[in-house]
């Protein structure tokens, strides 16, 4: 099942080519610092201030970080990854700032360059450290601030920068745009699944991702079947189908906002009451939790992950499932941004249980779940390949220990990273999608 498909091989080739023609900014170090300073200053609010003031440098967060645990490299300690922000806070924002300047080294552009590696290449933003911190510090939130500052200073890794710019400027990702969606739609139509593209009005706006279009068209078909079966009035927009939000990953404010507003505008114009996010953890985070804040207003639609949609349809009796015949036991891999940071824990497990599956938990699970190792766009960064693979090994051992027949996940990103890891290490546990499993077991 994990034998790489033609599409997957091609996808990896295009990953390898990323970052080769990335735009760069010819800013001086002072300009970079100034831009980072504006962002840090504007983002250090009460929440961050309390976090910065509470850290006791105990170092326990290291033990929550898959990159540290896998490599034992102390630079990967989460508290260290946000150290520049803390230094900035201590010198510029803290109530004791004048005193702190005596003891705290000033931040410079070299620091920013050094930390660009740490917060982009050695952090998936999984937030496991948030759950470990005895002080309750939200480290991943501060990592986001770090990323935003680095993005403002033009210090995002080339791969992410290229994808982010592509999405903002061309509204495509990996070259996938409206045309590619249409061609997938016609292929699926041949196979008997209709995608109602660009309906003028619809109750449900379903999103998909470039990755699904290139790699997992079955997942799109599965979502479509579920929509159909549950009797929804739904559509997919060729202008605003892309759920992924590279700006959320890279920290680039403009990209993040444009991707969100494209979807919000479409949802509003077609009168959708619900936006359904496909299997993508960070997309869920962007739309479910960040969109209203990004646009500065409460939004007139509900955002659901596809697993939430399924669970609700099952509860409402709009959908029913038959026992899965080809699987016995599965383990569910919680995508970080969907579960630990998004709150979707129960629904995927309920859905799997409805299909009569024996759901086994890994040693760390739910809010303590181990990241796949390449989450949130990390798999696109070629320089992190070594540590990603080491982190994958940790995950793989936990998955193997469950002795489940397959690992089910609800995020394309996790799925891709697990597939890459499996391919490199010859691991053979099937990695399957929740939505495809559901679509395969819809009761008549």
Task: Rank residues 72 and 325 by Cβ distance to another protein and give the closer one.
Answer: 72
Give CA–CA dist 120/377, Å, rounded. Answer: 9
Which residue from 8, 15, 66, 77 is in contact with another protein, where contact means CB under 8 A? 77
CB 253 within 8 A of CB 286: no
Q: Binders of another protein among 118-177, rule CB under 8 A?
A: 130-138, 152
Contact map string, positions 345 to 364, toward another protein, x by CB under 8 A? x-----------------xx
Q: How does DSSP assign 125-166, residue by residue?
A: ---HHHHH-TT---HHHHHHHHHHHHHHTT-S-HHHHHHHHH
Q: Is 261 in the site for another protein (CB under 8 A)?
A: no
- d(CA 92, CA 208) in angstroms, rounded, equals 42
If one asks whether residue 341 binds another protein (CB under 8 A), the answer comes out as: yes
Please tell me whether residue 298 binds another protein under the rule CB under 8 A.
Answer: yes
Distance between CA atoms of 301 and 203, rounded to whole angstroms? 10
Would you say 319 and 310 are in contact if contact means Cβ atoms under 8 Å apart? yes
In 384-425, the DSSP E strands lie at 406-409
The DSSP string of 107-125 is: P-HHHHHHHHIIIIIS---
Q: Is 323 in the site for another protein (CB under 8 A)?
A: no
State yes or no: residue 21 binds another protein (CB under 8 A).
no
| Site map (CB under 8 A) of another protein, residues 231-260, x = contact | ---------------------xxx------
Span near another protein by CB under 8 A; candidates 13-21, 55-63, 201-209, 349-357: 55-63
427 binds another protein (CB under 8 A): no
DSSP state of 403: T
165 torsion bin: left (phi>0), alpha (psi -120 to 50), beta (else): alpha
Q: Sheet of 329-333: strands edge to edge?
A: 358-360, 329-333, 406-409, 431-433
Stretch that binds another protein, among 296-304, 371-379, 389-397, 412-420 (CB under 8 A): 296-304
Min separation Cβ 351 and another protein, Å: 17
Considering only residues 4, 12, 22, 55, which one is a binding residue for another protein as defined by CB under 8 A?
Answer: 55
Instruction: Choose one: 10-18, 63-71, 179-187, 387-395; the region binding another protein (CB under 8 A).
Output: 63-71
Binding residues with another protein: total (CB under 8 A):
77
Determine the interface stretch with another protein among 2-10, 173-181, 224-232, 290-298 (rule: CB under 8 A): 290-298
* Distance of closest approach, residue 136 Cβ to another protein, in angstroms: 3
Report yes or no: 408 and 348 within 8 Å, Cβ to Cβ: yes
Closest distance to another protein from the beta carbon of 172 (Å) = 21
Q: Quick check: 289 binds another protein (CB under 8 A)? A: yes
Whether 278 contacts 243, CB under 8 Å: yes
């Amino acid at each position: 099942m994990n034998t790489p498909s033609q599409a997957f091989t091609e996808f990896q080739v295009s990953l390898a080519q990323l970052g080769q023609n990335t735009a760069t900014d010819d800013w001086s170090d002072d300009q970079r610092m100034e831009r980072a300073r504006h962002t840090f200053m504007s983002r250090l609010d009460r929440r961050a201030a309390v976090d910065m003031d509470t850290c006791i440098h105990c170092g326990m967060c290291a033990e929550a970080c898959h990159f540290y645990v896998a490599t034992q490299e102390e630079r990967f300690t989460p508290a260290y990854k946000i150290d520049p922000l803390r230094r900035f806070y201590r010198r510029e924002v803290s109530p004791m700032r004048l005193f702190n300047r005596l003891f705290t080294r000033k931040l410079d552009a070299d620091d920013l360059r050094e930390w660009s590696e740490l917060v982009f290449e050695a952090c998936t933003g999984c937030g496991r450290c948030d759950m470990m911190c005895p002080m309750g510090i939200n480290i991943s939130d501060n990592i986001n601030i770090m990323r935003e500052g680095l993005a403002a200073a033009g210090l995002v890794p080339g791969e992410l920068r290229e994808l982010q710019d592509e999405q903002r400027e061309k509204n495509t990702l990996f070259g996938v745009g409206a045309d590619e969606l249409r061609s997938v739609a016609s292929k699926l139509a041949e196979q008997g699944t209709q995608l109602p593209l660009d309906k003028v009005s619809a109750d449900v706006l379903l999103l998909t991702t470039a990755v699904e279009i290139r790699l997992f068209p079955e997942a799109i078909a599965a979502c479509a079947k579920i929509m159909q079966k549950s009797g929804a009035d739904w559509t997919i927009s060729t202008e605003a189908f892309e759920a992924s939000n590279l700006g959320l990953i890279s920290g680039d404010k403009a990209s993040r906002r444009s991707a969100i507003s494209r979807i919000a505008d479409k949802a509003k114009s077609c009168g959708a009451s619900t936006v359904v996010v496909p299997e993508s953890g960070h997309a869920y985070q962007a739309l479910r939790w960040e969109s209203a804040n990004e646009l500065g207003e409460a939004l007139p639609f509900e955002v659901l992950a596809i697993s939430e949609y399924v669970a609700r349809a099952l509860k409402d009796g709009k959908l029913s499932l038959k026992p899965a015949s080809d699987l016995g036991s599965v383990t569910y891999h919680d995508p970080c941004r969907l579960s630990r940071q998004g709150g979707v824990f129960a629904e995927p497990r309920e859905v799997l249980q409805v299909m009569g599956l024996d759901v086994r938990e890994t040693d760390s699970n739910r809010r303590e779940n181990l990241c796949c190792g390449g989450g949130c766009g990390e798999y696109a960064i070629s320089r992190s390949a070594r540590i990603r693979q080491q982190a994958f090994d940790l995950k793989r051992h936990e998955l193997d220990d469950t002795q489940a027949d397959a690992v089910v996940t609800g995020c394309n990103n996790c799925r891709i990273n697990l597939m890459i890891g499996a391919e490199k290490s010859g691991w053979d546990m099937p990695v399957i999608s929740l939505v495809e499993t559901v679509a395969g077991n819809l009761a008549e």
